[in-house]
Structure 1
Amino acid sequence: MAKTYTWHRFADPGIGEKDLTILEVEGKKISFTRYEGALYAFAYKCPHASGVMADGWVDEDGNVVCPLHRYRFSVKNGRNTSGEGYFLKTYPVEKREDGWYLGMEKTGLFGW
């Protein structure tokens, strides 16, 4: 089944290439970076030990690096690229005529 999203408008984070920032979208903290000119959004905390991802950095291959244990995740799809097997939640981002939008996956009554 295809994922469906609820889209939420957010302010342009105004960040440079490989910079990291945090914005609150619909009451949820989301990390953002810009890589190769595109804007990416992903979880606020690392899935391993809850390090704040915006306190890390983006490497030359487009991986966000957790500041605690240096686990690496692709900003494009959240896949762990350093071999530990974790997955970082990512969010789709769209630039529209009236601003930036972040997609949050719709879930049913019980979170399915």
Structure 2
Amino acid sequence: MIGWHGAMNRQVQGSVFIGNASELDPLETHLVETQAGRFCVRRWRDEWIVHSAVCPHMLGPLNEAELDKHGNITCPWHGYRFDVSTGQNIDAKCNDLMQAPRLIERDGKLYLD
């Protein structure tokens, strides 16, 4: 299940507020719109991570991709694979993902910076 949080995101001291960490569903992919682009915030190996929600090939929806056991996602449109920790295209057949902003947890709240 994919959560859409674009409407609730707001700027806080230059950062984009995602939500209270304790209230975000750890089983969902939370799609976040920023001025820099669209990003996915999700849990992997007991921590929150962030990566681009858009495949650089033809703008495929990476928010619909599931993380595999190695922390990789596969674009549902054309099968390009990416390592979400580095953004690198695994097969070297496509550009790497757009660099994701920093994910910050402050006072139990998550922000993209």
TM-score where L is the length of structure 2 = 0.70
**Counterpart amino acid of residue 101 in structure 2:** Y
What is the number of equivalent residue pairs in this alignment?
96
Hey, what's the Cα distance between the residues in 1 that align with 2:37 and 2:108?
Answer: 22
Matches for 1:12-51 after TM superposition, within 5 Å: 12=21, 13-16=24-27, 19-25=28-34, 28-51=37-60
- Structure 1 segments (4+ residues) deviating >3 Å: 24-29
Q: Does the residue aligned with 1:91 lie in a helix, a strand or coil?
A: coil
Structure 1 unaligned residues grouped into runs of 5+? 1-5, 104-112
Which of 76, 80, 104 is equivalent to 1:94? 104
Q: Could you tell me how far 1:92 is from its partner in structure 2?
A: 1.5
Residue matched to 1:3: none
Cα RMSD of the aligned pairs, angstroms, is 2.2
What is the aligned partner in structure 2 of residue 107 from structure 1? none
Runs of 5+ unmatched residues, structure 2: 1-13
Match of 1:69 in 2: 78
Contact map agreement 1:46 1:53 (CA 8 A) in 2: yes
